[in-house]
A and B are shown apart, each in its own frame.
Chain A
Amino acid sequence: MATTTYLSNPDVTIATVNLRDQCTAATLTRTVEALESTAFGDTARFNVGGLENNELTLTLYMSYAATETYATLASLVGTQCNVLVSPQAPTTPNTYSATNPGFILTGTYLESLPVINATMGELSTIDITFTGGSSSVDVS
C-alpha cells in the first residue's frame, strides 16, 4: 500500500525564506521534454530525453505584513531563485534523507505574482508558478 497523507508538515522554502505556514498546496513536477526520435523502419513512436522543464505551483495565503508572503515574493518577480519543497519539515534544519527528500529547483523563474486576489468574506490566496530551473534532490 503506497499512500501519503499530508497533514501539516510539508516544508516550502523560497529563496531561503520558509513560507510553510502560508502554504496550502504545492505541486512540483519534474519534466524532461520528449524529443521524437522515430525513424524509418520503426513501427512505433520513440522518444529521447531533451531539456528539463520543471515547474512548481504553490497556493499561498496572501499577507502584506512584514516578512510574510508579499514581502518575500515581491522582489522575486522577474528573477531566478532557488526553491525547496520537502514532504516533512526536517527536525534539524536543512537535513534531509531518502525518506524525507528535499526537492530543489535551482535558478527557477517567477514570472508573475498576483498582488491582489480579493474576494469578499474569504481569506485571500494566490497561486504562483515557478518555471524552469534545474532539479535536484537533497537526501544528505
Chain B
Amino acid sequence: MTKYTVVSPRVGTPGAEFDADLAVMRGANIEALVAGGFIKVSAPKPAKNAKKDIDTNEE
C-alpha cells in the first residue's frame, strides 16, 4: 500500500503521514493532491539489515 507524507499545511501537519484512506472517504482525489504538491509519496523505508535476521548465536 502506498504511503503519503503531508507537504502542505492545508491538508495536515507537514511531515506527518497522510491518511489516504480517510481522505478518500472524505472525498479527496489523491492523485490531484500529489500532482498539486499537497502530499508526496513517502520514500520506502530502507530494507532491514539482513544480518539481523540471521541467528549468529553459536550456543
Contact = CB atoms under 8 A, between A and B. Distances in A.
Interface of A: 15-19, 66-67, 71-72, 75-76, 79-82, 93, 106-107
* Interface residues of chain B: helix, strand, loop or mixed (majority): loop
A106 B36 contact: no
Given A67-B7, A67-B10, A72-B10, A16 B28 contact: yes
A17 B27 contact: no
Chain B's interface size range is 10 to 19
Contact of A81 (B10, B29, B37): B29
Interface of B: 7-12, 23, 26-29, 32-33, 35-38
Contact of B8 (A15, A67, A75): A67
A40 B27 CA distance: 46
Given A72-B10, A81-B27, A82-B26, A16 B33 contact: yes
Contact of A82 (B11, B27, B35): B27
A90 B5 CA distance: 22
8 contacts: A15-B27, A16-B27, A18-B11, A66-B36, A67-B36, A71-B38, A72-B10, A76-B29
A66 B10 CA distance: 11
A82 B37 CA distance: 19
A134 to B, nearest CB: 12
Given A17-B10, A17-B33, A67-B37, 11 more contacts: A16-B11, A16-B33, A17-B8, A17-B38, A18-B9, A18-B10, A66-B8, A71-B37, A75-B36, A82-B27, A82-B28
Contacts of A66: 8, 36-37
Nearest to A93: B12
